[in-house]
């Protein structure tokens, strides 16, 4: 069977996507209208990119100011996608608050590394960062207790398979970092973690370590702990790096962290060295600065230059 490589991304569409997700947000409404109305601009490709990279809320909020001047079909499709994201977010936030309440009632410690809690932490708006599921991390010994809570609420386990035996579950738990669930009625997804990263990676701080440095946000009246400080930085960098940065949303997070939450670079680099993930940190910073045309901070710059200079000389 003959196969073809996927076409390179449409440059005009991707450049506009970068402008609309830039932490500075400097592009003005007339420039947006001109870009979308350009006869060489592929509106369908742009909307596909927005959906694939899961940046619909950011893009919609930026383009909404120019909505009446944009092509009607184009903006209506974006509005519909944004409405779907808002509805999904409301379901996720409601479930997250309810699950958090149930865990507290059962005295189970937990942290929420991504999702609505991270969106509130980074963007100041719990629905601004599009997400597929709810992520909750607990101690390994509490996984079965939390699973029982999820079952009682109408969730079904999808990974490992629902028919997995206790022996199979114990084996998989030793070699995996999470279990996955879906709700039988509204299809809300939950990932129940007991590790942040796959077993083989040295960056696997305990729940106690994560909670010691956590920041608390309010979701539907419930106080939710989420990552902060160096651990947030390293997790975001590793998550993107391990995944190959195939969604722009992850680089949006790094760019926003650099712009609004700049770290003490020396301390962060020391932490990255301790956890053997310095290259992932430098990769994240380098990519975010390259894509979003941001200045590279001095300390990472010297290390990035050391890494790339042998290759640039070839």
Give residues with Cβ within 8 angstroms of 35, minimum separation 6.
Answer: 12, 16, 19, 41
**pLDDT higher for 1 or 86?**
86
Region of poorest pLDDT, from 120-134, 146-160, 238-252: 120-134
Residues 174-199, mean pLDDT to the nearest whole number: 94
Section 230-244 average pLDDT: 95
What average pLDDT does the segment 171-175 reach?
90
Structure tokens of 214? 């956590």
Q: What is the mean pLDDT of residues 232-248?
A: 95
Q: Please state which of the ranges 205-219, 244-258, 299-313 shows the lowest mean pLDDT.
A: 299-313
| Cβ contacts of 61 within 8 Å, gap of 6 or more | 128
Angle at 127 between CA 124 and CA 132, to 5 degrees: 130
Residue 10 has pLDDT above 90, yes or no: no
Angle between helices 229-243 and 248-260 (to 10 degrees): 160
Question: Is residue 199 over pLDDT 80?
Answer: no
Is residue 200 classed as helix, strand or coil in its secondary structure?
Answer: coil
Q: What does the alpha-carbon distance between residue 261 and residue 199 come to, in Å, rounded to a whole number?
A: 29
In whole angstroms, what is the distance from residue 272 CA to residue 231 CA? 9
Query: Whole-model pTM above 0.85?
Result: yes
Label residue 8 by pLDDT band (50, 70, 90): low
pLDDT digits (tens, 9 = 90+) for 69-114: 999 999 999 999 999 999 999 999 999 999 999 999 999 999 999 9
**Quick one: average pLDDT of 159-177?**
92
Q: Is the peptide bond before 141 cis (omega within 30 degrees of 0)?
A: no
Domain boundaries, the chain: 228-302
In three-state form (DSSP H/G/I as H, E/B as E, the rest C), the secondary structure along 100-148 is: HHHHHHCCCCCECCCHHHHHHHHHCCCCCCCCCCEEEECCHHHHHHHHH
Lowest-confidence segment of 16-20, 140-144, 201-205 by average pLDDT: 201-205
Q: What is the 3-state secondary structure (H, E, C) of 9-70?
A: CCHHHHHHHHHHHCCCCCCCHHHHHHHHHCCCCCHHHHHHHHHHCCCHHHHHHHHHHHHHHC
Rounded to an integer, what distance in angstroms lies between the CA atom of residue 88 and that of residue 90?
Answer: 6
Helix residue spans in 183-228 (DSSP H): 207-212
Between 310 and 257, name the one with better pLDDT: 257
Higher pLDDT, 103 or 301: 103
The pLDDT, as a whole number, for residue 26 is 87
Which secondary structure element, helix H or strand E, spans residue 220, and what is its range?
A: none
Q: Using the predicted structure, report yes or no on whether residue 1 has a pLDDT greater than 60.
A: no
Q: Which pLDDT band holds residue 3 (cuts at 50, 70, 90)?
A: very low
C-alpha to C-alpha distances, 148 to 22, 33, 134, 154, 157, nearest whole angstrom? 42, 51, 17, 10, 11
Work out the mean pLDDT of the chain and round it to a whole number. Answer: 91
pLDDT in tens, 14-46: 999 999 999 998 899 999 999 999 999 999 999
């Amino acid at each position: 069977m003959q196969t073809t490589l996927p076409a390179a991304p449409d440059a005009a569409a991707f450049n506009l996507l970068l402008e609309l997700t830039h932490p500075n947000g400097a592009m003005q409404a007339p420039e947006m209208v001109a870009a979308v109305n350009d006869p060489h601009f592929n509106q369908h490709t742009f909307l596909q990119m927005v959906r694939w990279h899961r940046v619909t809320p950011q893009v919609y909020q930026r383009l909404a100011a120019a909505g009446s001047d944009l092509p009607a079909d184009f903006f209506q499709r974006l509005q519909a996608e944004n409405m779907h994201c808002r509805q999904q977010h409301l379901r996720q936030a409601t479930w997250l608050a309810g699950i958090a309440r149930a865990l507290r009632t059962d005295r189970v410690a937990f942290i929420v590394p991504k999702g609505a809690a991270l969106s509130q932490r980074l963007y100041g708006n719990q629905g601004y960062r599009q997400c597929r599921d709810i992520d909750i991390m607990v101690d390994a010994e509490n996984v079965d207790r939390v699973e029982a809570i999820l079952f009682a609420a109408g969730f079904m386990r999808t990974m490992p398979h629902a028919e997995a035996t206790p022996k199979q579950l114990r084996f998989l738990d030793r070699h995996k970092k999470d279990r996955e669930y879906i709700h039988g009625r509204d299809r809300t997804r939950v990932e129940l973690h007991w590790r942040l990263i796959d077993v083989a990676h040295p960056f696997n701080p305990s729940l106690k370590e994560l909670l010691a440095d956590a920041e608390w946000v309010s979701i539907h009246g419930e106080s939710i702990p989420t990552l902060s400080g160096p651990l947030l930085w390293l997790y975001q960098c590793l998550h993107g790096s391990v995944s190959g940065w195939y969604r722009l949303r992850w680089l949006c997070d790094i760019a926003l962290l650099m712009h609004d939450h700049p770290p003490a670079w020396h301390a962060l680099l020391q932490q990255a060295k301790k956890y053997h993930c310095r290259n992932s940190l430098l990769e994240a910073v380098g990519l975010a600065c390259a894509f979003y045309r941001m200045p590279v901070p001095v300390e990472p710059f010297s290390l990035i230059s050391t890494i790339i200079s042998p290759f640039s000389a070839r």
